[in-house]
Structure 1
C-alpha cells in the first residue's frame, strides 16, 4: 500500500479530512524548510571541523615525528634500560574535555591533556636525548588529544549531515508529493460531493427535470 493510500484510510471524508490533509502538508513543507536551514548550517560547521581535523592531524604527526627521532637517539645512547628508567618516573596523564553543541549535536570542542611533572624522588632521564624525547612526547600527547577531539567532532557532525539530508529528501521526494496528491484527490471528491448534493437539492425542490428527462411528478392530490 502506498503512503497516499494509507493516509487516505486514516483521513476522514469531507471537509474535515481535507483540513487535516492541508494541515499535514503545511507541517511537512515547514519541516522540510527548517531541515534545509539546519542542513546548510551543519554543512558549514562540518567543513570547518574537517579543516580543524586536518590541521590537528598535521600538527600531531609533526610533533610525533620529532618525539620519535629523540627517542631513537636516546635509545642509541642509553639503551632500553635507560628508557625504562626514564619512563618509570612519569605518571598517568589526565584529559579535560570541553563540550559544545551545534544544531542539537553535542561534541567535544577542545581537549586539554596534562601530564604530571616528575616527582622529586623519580629518576631523571639518563641522557639529554631522552630529556628532549620526554618533552616532545608530552607535546605529542596533547596534539593527539586535540586531533582525536577534532576527528570525533567531524564524524558526529558529518553523520548528522547525512541523516538530515536523508530526512529532507524523504520529505521533498516522497511524503510532500503524496500529501499533495491526497489533497488534490480530496478536493476533487469534495467538489464532486458538493455538486451532487446541489443537484439533488434542486431536483428535490422541483427546479430541475427528474431523472430520465421527464417532468417532476405531479402532486396526486
Structure 2
C-alpha cells in the first residue's frame, strides 16, 4: 500500500518514509556475526532503495505536473489571452461608440428643447 501526500495543492505523490518489511528467512541461531552484519546491511540497503524509489516517483510526478502546467500556461498565453484581449478591444470600442452616440443624442435633445422654448415665447 502506498501512502500519498499532497504537494502544490492537488498533486498526489508517494510519501516517505515507506514502511519496509523484508521477507528474510529467520533462523533460531544465526551462523555468525558476519551473517548478522550482512542481514543488517541488507535491511538498510533495502530501506534506502525503497526511500529512493519513493523520492524518484515523487519527483517524476512533480515533474509531470510541472510540464502539464507549463503547457496550460503556454496555451493561455498563445491562444486565450490574444482572443480575450481582442474581444475586450471590440467591447471597449462598442462602448466608446455608444457613449459618443449618447452624447450626440443629448446635444440634439438639448438643442430641440432650447429651440422649442425660444420659439414659443
- TM-score tier by shorter-chain length is 0.5 to 0.7
For 1:99 and 1:204, locate their aligned partners in 2 and report how far apart those are by CA, in whole Å.
71
For 2:33 and 2:16, locate their aligned partners in 1 and report how far apart those are by CA, in whole Å.
36
Give 5+ residue unaligned stretches, structure 1.
1-94, 208-218
Match of 2:63 in 1: 158
Tell me by how many angstroms 1:150 deviates: 0.9
For 1:102 and 1:162, locate their aligned partners in 2 and report how far apart those are by CA, in whole Å.
15
SS at match of 2:57: helix
Q: Does 1:100 align with 2:5?
A: yes
Match of 1:178 in 2: 83
Q: How does 1:121-140 map to 2 (within 5 A)?
A: 131=35, 134-140=39-45
SS at match of 1:100: strand
For the aligned residue pairs, the C-alpha RMSD in angstroms reads 3.3
Structure 1 stretch displaced more, 161-170 or 195-204: 195-204
SS at match of 1:106: strand
Match of 1:191 in 2: 96
Aligned residues of 2:16 and 2:51 also touching (Cα < 8 A): no
Match of 2:49 in 1: 144
Structure 1 length as normaliser, TM-score?
0.40
Q: How does 1:1-221 map to 2 (within 5 A)?
A: 99-104=4-9, 105-107=11-13, 108-115=15-22, 118=26, 120=28, 131=35, 134-206=39-111
For 2:23 and 2:54, locate their aligned partners in 1 and report how far apart those are by CA, in whole Å.
21
- What number of residue pairs does the alignment pair up? 109
Q: 1:165 to 1:112 in 2, by over 3 A?
A: same
SS at match of 1:112: coil
Instruction: Note the alpha carbon deviations across 1:196-217, whole angstroms, 9 max, x for none.
Output: 233234335546xxxxxxxxxx
Structure 2 length as normaliser, TM-score?
0.65
Instruction: Note the alpha carbon deviations across 1:72-113, whole angstroms, 9 max, x for none.
Output: xxxxxxxxxxxxxxxxxxxxxxx8x66433212232232231
**Which fold has the larger relative contact order, with Cα–Cα distance below 8 Å and residues 6 or more apart in sequence?**
1
